[in-house]
Amino acid sequence: QVQLVESGGGLAQAGGSLRLSCSASGSTFSNYRVAWFRQAPGLEREFVTYINWGSINWGSGTTYYVDSVKGRFTISRDNAKNTVYLQMNSLKPEDTAVYYCAAAWRASGRGDTSNGYNYWGQGTQVTVSS
């Protein structure tokens, strides 16, 4: 079992930057695929990005991004600190949402849907003004 806590949300202007953090406890963090999702008011929860688990030989650190954030957002992890980061640059008002981190134990296959993840944080609000 793992517990996840997001932080770093807040208010930014269009074109600005924010860095979100997802801090984990309770299990071996390096063995989890960790993803970021977001949900705007009135919309369904949307996949944003994930970073894979495991050793270098197993593709550790491999990432995937939804098209709308490619080139603007970067996901990274520091296993020594049990933390995953989401660096968000060139923010747009359309990025406004509650951002959630999610984890799946030694996951493989597709990782871009909510039902692929077992553990979720409580979310952090990101608001981007025009």
For 97, list phi and psi in degrees, rounded to 5.
180, 170
Which residue's structure tokens are 């963090």? 29
Residues β-bridged to residue 13: 129
- Asked whether the CA dihedral 14, 17, 23, 29 is positive or negative, the reply is positive
Whether the CB-CB separation of 33 and 15 falls below 8 Å is answered with no
**Which among 97, 123, 95 has a CA at the least distance from the CA of 15?**
95
The tens place of each residue's pLDDT in the chain, 130 residues long, gives 899 999 999 999 999 999 999 999 987 888 999 999 999 999 999 999 999 987 655 556 899 999 999 999 999 999 889 999 999 999 999 999 999 999 999 898 899 999 999 999 999 999 999 9
Strands 3-7 and 18-25: antiparallel
Residues β-bridged to residue 46: 38
- Asked whether the CA dihedral 106, 112, 115, 121 is positive or negative, the reply is positive
pLDDT for the residue 1: 84
